[in-house]
Amino acid sequence: MRTGLFVLAAAGLLATGSVAACGGDSGSDSGSSGSSSAGKVGVILPDTKTSARWATADARFLKEVFENAGVEADIQNAQGDKTQFQTIAEGMISSGVKVLMIVNLDSGTGKAVLNQARNAGIYTIDYDRLTLNGGADYYVSFDNVKVGELQGQGLVDCLTAKNYTKPVVAELNGAPTDNNATLFKQGYDSVLAPKYARGTFDKGPDQSVPDWDNAQAGTIFEQMLTLNKNIKGVLAANDGLGNAAIAVLKKNKLNGQVPVTGQDATVQGLQNILAGDQCMTVYKAIKKESDAAAELAIALAKGQQPTTATGTVTDPQSGEDVPSVLLTPVSITKDNVKDVIADGFVTPEELCTGEFAKACTDAGIS
C-alpha cells in the first residue's frame, strides 16, 4: 500500500461531495469533468453469465453508492472476454481514473492490468476475487473458505436427512483460474474429507468447470452421471453450476433425490430450493460487499486514507499481506429463504412467480 501518496486533504476538500455527480451527463468516459474534490473511479466486472449477480446486483449497488457520494464512476463489464477486459482497463487508465477496481477473469490478465494502473499512479482494489501476485492496494470479498464450509455442511445435512448409506458425492468446482474457487473447494473439502476417510460418504467424480461456464457444467455433470449412475449428492460451487446439474438430474428423473448445493442466492437457485431440487445456497450480501468496496474507492478518490480495511489477506503467491475487508456468508435452505427477501436482495415478485407461488407461501414469503 502506498500510504505516502495520500494527501492530507484540507477540511474544505473533504466536505465536498457533489461536484463530480454534476458532470455525470457529459458522459462518464471522457475526462474528469473539472472536479477538484474527487477523482474518477473505474470498475470492471467480469461477465454476465457465470452468475446472475454480475448482471443484476453488483453494478447496480456500486452505482448507487458512487452517485450518493457524488463521485464519478465508470462501471463496465468485460463480458467474459479477457481482451475486452484489457481494453476497458486501458481506456479507464488513459481517461485518468484515480482508482481502478477489478474482478479479474484470471490472475494473469488481472495482474497485467493492475501493473499498468500502478505504473500510472492509480490506486487498485481487487473486488471479490484476489488477483494472485497482483499486488492490489486493497481487497474486498467474503470469507470464501467459510462459503465452502457452509456448502459442505449443507450437503452433509441434506444427505443425512435422506438416510443414504455411503452416498457417492460428485464435486463440480468453479473455474480453476479463480482463486475464490480454490478457497471454496478448500472449505467444502475440509468438511467432506473426514466423511470420505471414515467411510460415511463415498468420494465420486471431482471436476473443475472452466470459466464457471454453466453450459460446460451440464456436459461435465452428464458425463459424471453416465459413468456413475449412483451419484447421490452434488457439491456444486454456485447456483449456475447447480442448476446445470439439476437440469441433467431432471432429465434422468432424479431431481429432488440427489441434493445439490449452490451459492449466490440467485432467483433461480432460490426457486430450485423452493421446488425441493436444490439443497441449499450461500447468501453473500452483495450490497454490503459493494458498499465496502465503494467506500474504499471513494476515500481513495478523495485523497483520504481509508480506515475500513482493517483485516489482511495473505496473497499465497507473493506472500504479501493485502489490507482487506472480508464479509460473512450465510447458509440458506428452504427454512430461511425468507431472510434473503427480508434483506431486500430478492423481491417476492421476482421469486414467487407462477408455479413457485404456493412454495413461497409455504416458506412464509408473501
Q: Are 69 and 19 in contact (CB under 8 A)?
A: no
Question: Considering only residues 196-225, where is the footprint of ligand BGC by CB under 6 A?
Answer: 212
- Residue whose C-alpha is closest to residue 106's, from 235, 210, 220: 210
Stretch that binds ligand BGC, among 14-22, 49-57, 60-68, 192-200 (CB under 6 A): 49-57
**Alpha carbons within 13 A on the beta-carbon side of 44:** 34
Smallest separation (angstroms) from ligand BGC to the CB of 53: 6
Smallest separation (angstroms) from ligand BGC to the CB of 42: 20
Residue 264 within binding range of ligand BGC, rule CB under 6 A: yes
238 versus 243: smaller Cβ distance to ligand BGC? 238
DSSP per residue, 48-96: SSS-HHHHHTHHHHHHHHHHHHT--EEEEE-TT-HHHHHHHHHHHHHTT
Q: Are 195 and 246 in contact (CB under 8 A)?
A: no
Q: 3-state class of 158 per DSSP?
A: helix
- The residue within the footprint of ligand BGC, chosen from 104, 182, 263, 290 (CB under 6 A), is 263
Smallest separation (angstroms) from ligand BGC to the CB of 263: 6
Residue 139 within binding range of ligand BGC, rule CB under 6 A: no
74 versus 264: smaller Cβ distance to ligand BGC? 264
Q: How far is CA 76 from CA 28, 80, 141, 165, 300, in A?
A: 11, 12, 19, 49, 20
Residue 131 within binding range of ligand BGC, rule CB under 6 A: no
Stretch that binds ligand BGC, among 48-56, 60-68, 305-313, 349-357 (CB under 6 A): 48-56
128 versus 315: smaller Cβ distance to ligand BGC? 128
In the chain, count H helices and then E strands: 15, 12
Residue 128 within binding range of ligand BGC, rule CB under 6 A: yes
Question: Considering only residues 299-358, where is the footprint of ligand BGC by CB under 6 A?
Answer: none
Q: How far from each other are the two terminal CA atoms of the chain, in whole angstroms?
A: 48
Residue 290 within binding range of ligand BGC, rule CB under 6 A: no
Q: How far is CA 107 from CA 48, 89, 302, in A?
A: 19, 15, 28
Main-chain dihedrals φ then ψ at residue 70, nearest 5 degrees: 70, 30
Q: Which residues contact 260 (CB under 8 A, 6 or more apart)?
A: 233, 234, 236, 242, 245, 246, 249, 272, 277, 278, 279
Residue 51 within binding range of ligand BGC, rule CB under 6 A: yes
Residue 180 within binding range of ligand BGC, rule CB under 6 A: yes
Stretch that binds ligand BGC, among 32-40, 47-55, 104-112, 344-352 (CB under 6 A): 47-55
Alpha-carbon gap, residue 265 to 42, rounded angstroms = 27
Alpha-carbon gap, residue 296 to 300, rounded angstroms = 6
Strand partners, 74: 42
Residue 143 within binding range of ligand BGC, rule CB under 6 A: no
325 versus 360: smaller Cβ distance to ligand BGC? 325
Residue 177 within binding range of ligand BGC, rule CB under 6 A: no
- The residue within the footprint of ligand BGC, chosen from 137, 178, 202, 291 (CB under 6 A), is 178
Sign, Cα dihedral of 262, 268, 273, 278: negative
Residue 238 within binding range of ligand BGC, rule CB under 6 A: yes
Judged by CB under 6 A, the number of residues near ligand BGC is 12
Residue 50 within binding range of ligand BGC, rule CB under 6 A: yes
Sign, Cα dihedral of 18, 24, 25, 31: positive
Smallest separation (angstroms) from ligand BGC to the CB of 269: 10
Smallest separation (angstroms) from ligand BGC to the CB of 165: 32
Binding stretches for ligand BGC (CB under 6 A): 50-51, 53, 128-129, 174, 178, 180, 212, 238, 263-264
